[in-house]
């Protein structure tokens, strides 16, 4: 994980380091296999068809919108530095693979760059989803799931309370950097809770994300230090169940 920089910035979004004004893309379906199938890319602005480059979407709220649960400085560094680095790493890896295909690059490095695509591509998509899976507390964030998602949680986990207990335990116990995920397994249509290590390891093939929590230290360390479980508890006040519900509805409609 990258180091925070001392670059001064108390500005609200959009951050100065983001690509400017990404245009709204027509919804032609995923431009890449790594875009989850239940998310229309136009909504998240993660890819620019005109340039063929992945791009950093602006945060949908100011840096301090998750206070007091997540520090403004954490949101700023997380988005402007960490997420930006995944976007840059993904574009770089794809460019290097293109060079190799035209014999300008070192074919012995396909394994390395393919791994970089997985890591940075996973990081880009995970974070693009993550910002939208949260909303300011009391203003879209927090509460409990509604509609079909609420029913599915009941069916898959027995009760909302049992889901919460398993979600917290799942996220808190990820080894090293990674994610806690709630996702639809598309063959059985049931909801699963699983761990993702790094940005891409231990993922369930084809699973469609509904809710995820980033449990890399960079997501919480300024406020919570080693107390990851406290951060996971606080995250419950930020979950954007409306967005998660949309992801769920689309996942089961496929
Ligand atoms: Mn992160």
The number of beta carbons lying within 10 Å of the beta carbon of residue 149 is 25
The number of beta carbons lying within 10 Å of the beta carbon of residue 156 is 19
CA of 190 to the centre of ligand 1 (A): 27
At 16 the pLDDT is: 41
CA of 127 to the centre of ligand 1 (A): 6
At 142 the pLDDT is: 97
- CATH number for 24-132 (one of 1.20.58.100, 3.40.50.920, 3.30.565.10, 1.10.287.990): it is 1.10.287.990
At 42 the pLDDT is: 63
Q: What is the pLDDT along the chain (254 residues), one digit of tens a residue?
A: 344 444 444 444 444 444 444 444 344 433 333 456 677 656 788 999 999 999 999 999 999 999 999 999 999 999 999 999 999 999 999 999 999 999 887 889 999 999 999 999 999 999 999 999 999 999 999 999 999 999 999 999 999 999 999 999 999 999 999 999 999 999 999 999 999 999 999 999 999 999 999 999 999 999 999 999 999 999 999 999 999 999 999 999 87
At 239 the pLDDT is: 98
Question: Alpha-carbon Rg of the chain, whole angstroms?
Answer: 18
CA of 83 to the centre of ligand 1 (A): 7
Q: What is the dihedral of CA 127, 160, 70, 241, to 10 degrees?
A: 50
CATH 3.55.40.20 fits 147-253, yes or no: yes
CA of 198 to the centre of ligand 1 (A): 9
Using CA atoms, how far apart are residues 232 and 155, in angstroms rounded to an integer? 23
Give the dihedral sign, CA 195/199/200/205: positive
CA of 220 to the centre of ligand 1 (A): 9
CA of 245 to the centre of ligand 1 (A): 22
Q: Where are the domains of the chain?
A: 24-132, 147-253
For ligand 1, a single-atom ion, which residues have Cβ within 5 Å? 214, 216
Q: What is the dihedral of CA 64, 68, 69, 75, to 10 degrees?
A: 20
Using CA atoms, how far apart are residues 32 and 117, in angstroms rounded to an integer? 12
CA of 122 to the centre of ligand 1 (A): 11
Residue 191 is classified by DSSP as: E
CA of 106 to the centre of ligand 1 (A): 30
At 4 the pLDDT is: 41
CA of 211 to the centre of ligand 1 (A): 14
At 103 the pLDDT is: 81
The SS3 assignment for 108 reads helix
The SS3 assignment for 50 reads coil
């Amino acid at each position: 994980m990258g180091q925070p920089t001392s670059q001064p910035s108390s500005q609200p979004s959009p951050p100065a380091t983001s690509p400017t004004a990404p245009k709204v893309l027509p919804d032609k379906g995923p431009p890449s296999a790594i875009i989850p199938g239940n998310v229309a890319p136009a909504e998240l602005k993660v890819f620019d068809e005109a340039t063929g480059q992945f791009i950093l979407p602006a945060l949908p709220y100011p840096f301090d919108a998750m206070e007091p649960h997540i520090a403004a400085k954490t949101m700023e560094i997380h988005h402007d530095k960490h997420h930006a680095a995944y976007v840059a790493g993904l574009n770089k890896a794809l460019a290097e693979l293109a060079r190799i295909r035209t014999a300008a690059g070192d074919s012995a490095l396909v394994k390395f760059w393919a791994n970089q695509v997985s890591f940075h591509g996973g990081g880009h998509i995970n974070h693009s989803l993550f910002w939208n899976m949260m909303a300011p507390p009391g203003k879209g964030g927090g509460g409990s799931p509604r509609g079909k998602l609420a029913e599915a949680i009941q069916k898959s986990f027995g009760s909302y309370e049992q889901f919460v207990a398993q979600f917290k335990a799942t996220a808190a116990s990820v080894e090293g950097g990674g994610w806690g995920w709630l996702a639809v397994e598309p063959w059985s249509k049931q909801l699963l809770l699983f761990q993702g290590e790094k940005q891409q390891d231990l993922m369930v093939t084809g699973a469609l994300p509904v809710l995820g929590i980033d449990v890399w230290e960079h997501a919480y360390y300024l406020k919570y230090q080693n107390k990851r479980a406290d951060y996971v508890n606080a995250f419950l006040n930020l979950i954007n169940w409306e967005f998660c519900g949309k992801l769920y509805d689309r996942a089961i409609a496929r």
